[in-house]
Amino acid sequence: MLAAFAVLLLFQCLGEGIVFVFHLPLPGPVAGMLLLMVALVALPGLQALVEQAANTLLSHLSLLFVPAGVGIVVAAGRGSGHWLAILTSLVASTVLALAVTGLILRGLGGPAPGDGAKDGDA
């Protein structure tokens, strides 16, 4: 299991390093996960090594949200006078995300509402 965690940490560090060196507008852990995905496709034997550690991390995933929750609680006092702006930005970003997702799905050829697909159709 220690070797698997070392592999995961290695790919995260590789992602951080590549983003830093090439000044990419991408978080380092995301780049590391993309590199890990490529490595898993190229080397299928790596999956057996990483799978147990990944499942262990996933079973304790809720613990990883604790620092973010603490950060929100600590920073909540700073936004006390700006609730209207915060609420407006939350609503606007949600609507924008839904609209962009809908446009992307439509562009990819997904069924649009009212395209003739009915519940009883097979």
Q: Looking at residue 46, what is its pLDDT?
A: 92
Q: Looking at residue 121, what is its pLDDT?
A: 55
Q: Looking at residue 61, what is its pLDDT?
A: 86
Residues 6+ apart with CB under 8 A from 94: none
Q: Looking at residue 78, what is its pLDDT?
A: 77
- CB–CB of 46/40 below 8 Å? yes
Q: Looking at residue 20, what is its pLDDT?
A: 96
CA dihedral sign of residues 110, 114, 118, 121: negative
Residues 6+ apart with CB under 8 A from 47: 40
CA dihedral sign of residues 55, 60, 62, 65: negative
Tokens of 14: 């590789």
Q: Looking at residue 99, what is its pLDDT?
A: 96
The one-digit pLDDT tens for each residue of the chain (122 residues) are 899 999 999 999 999 999 999 999 999 999 999 999 999 999 989 999 999 888 988 898 888 788 888 887 887 777 777 888 889 999 999 999 999 999 998 888 866 666 665 555 55
| Number of Cβ within a 10 Å radius of residue 31 | 21
Q: Looking at residue 93, what is its pLDDT?
A: 96
